[in-house]
Structures are given as structure tokens and as C-alpha cells.
Amino acid sequence: MTSQPRKIPHQLRSQSTVNALLEATAHILVHQGYVGVTTNRVAEKAGVSIGSLYQYFPNKQALLVALRRRHAETMQTTLLAMAPRSNNLRIQIDELIAAIMKAHEEDSALHQALENEVPEHILVEDDHANKTVQTLLISLLEPHRKVLLPSDIALACRILLPTVDTLIHQALRLSLTERYVMQQEISHLVKRYLLADT
């Protein structure tokens, strides 16, 4: 049982059908949780027959996988559009944290649902979004290698990525003002971990 999309929608009509299905899946996932996501419900909410759903997605899993992929791509786009511009590492870190926060803010509820509601084994595909952040982070740190406290940059990434991810999820549950305070604290944590004299 593969979860590859069944056919690429050529006509405009088809594309909007696929779109409506993913939108419906997202909405139900956010509001009723993973167990609420039934293929019939998704089709109904999308205003599409159940048969049409199965023309584009071979099974329920494929629906979730496609939704995750689309969400990840959106996040990547947001993230890459905000790549740090300064040469100062401290400023770069601040900007990166801000960018990640920004990326997570879009569809934050969907992000939470995707992470917490959907059983892990459903979403087996590699996490492209994570890869992107990792690449970004390494390309950020590499030039400053000599001023960094941790000698093992890979290890540092393995420490920082889940940390930042988790903390940003925590922050997203807070009000806007609290969130900003926390964002700065996250930046601070990262800089303390990476740099001396901070």
C-alpha cells in the first residue's frame, strides 16, 4: 500500500478538487482530530463525492501525507523568503528564530494537529522542512566555526533543532506579547549555547 497520489490532476477542475480535498482534510484534522478524519467526511466537506476522493488519493493515508507535504512546502517557502541578511552571527540567529516563528505561525493549528494527532507511522516520509532548516542552520554556522563553543557542529544542530522547534510550539500557545518575550529568550538560549561572551 503506497500513499503516492493516484494521478496528477491535469485539468483545472481536477486541481481545484484536489485542493478542496486537502483543505477539507486540514480543517477536519484541526477541529476534530485524526480520528475525525474519515474519507467520507472529507469528501463531503470538500463538496465532492467519495468516488472523486479516491480518484486522486489511493487511500486515507495518502490524504494526510499530501497534506503534510503541502504544509511543509508552504513553511519552506516562508522560511527561505526570510533568510538572514546580516553578517553578524548574533543578528543572524535572531533573524532565523524570527523566521522560524513566522513560518510556524502560518497554519499553526494545522502544524500542531499534524504533529500531535496523526500517528507517527502514517507520516513516514522524510521531513523536508526539517532538512531545510538543518541546511540553513549549518550554512549559517559553518563560516563562524572558530568562534563557536561546540566543536561538533552536527551535534550542536541535533541539539538546537528539536529545542527550537519545541520551544516555538510552546510559544505559539501564548499571547502575542508573551510570545515575543519567549522568542527573545529562545534566541538568548541559542546564543548562550553557541557563543562565548554572551
Q: Figure out which of the listed residues 8, 10, 120, 175 binds its own copies, where binding follows CB under 8 A.
A: 120
**Residue 11 binds which one of DNA, its own copies, none, with CB within 5 to 8 A depending on kind?**
DNA
What grid cell was written down for 85? 541578511
DSSP 14-53: HHHHHHHHHHHHHHHHHHHHHHH--HHHHHHHTTS-HHHH
The amino acid at 30: V
149 lies in the site for its own copies, by CB under 8 A: yes
Q: Which is nearer to its own copies, 147 or 149 (CB)?
A: 149
**Residue 5 binds which one of DNA, its own copies, none, with CB within 5 to 8 A depending on kind?**
none
76 lies in the site for DNA, by CB under 7 A: no
Q: Figure out which of the listed residues 24, 26, 48, 110 binds DNA, where binding follows CB under 7 A.
A: 48
Q: How far is the CB of 155 from its own copies (least distance, A)?
A: 6
Q: What is the DSSP letter of 106?
A: T
Q: Are 136 and 83 in contact (CB under 8 A)?
A: yes
DSSP 58-92: SSHHHHHHHHHHHHHHHHHHHHHHT----S-HHHH
Cα–Cα dist 6/99, whole Å:
34
Give the three-state DSSP class for 113.
helix
177 lies in the site for DNA, by CB under 7 A: no
40 lies in the site for its own copies, by CB under 8 A: no
Site of interaction with DNA (CB under 7 A): 1, 7, 10-11, 13-14, 17, 35, 37-41, 48-55, 58-61
Site of interaction with its own copies (CB under 8 A): 33-35, 116-117, 119-121, 149-150, 155, 158-159, 162-163, 165-167, 169-170, 181-182, 185-186, 188-189, 192-193
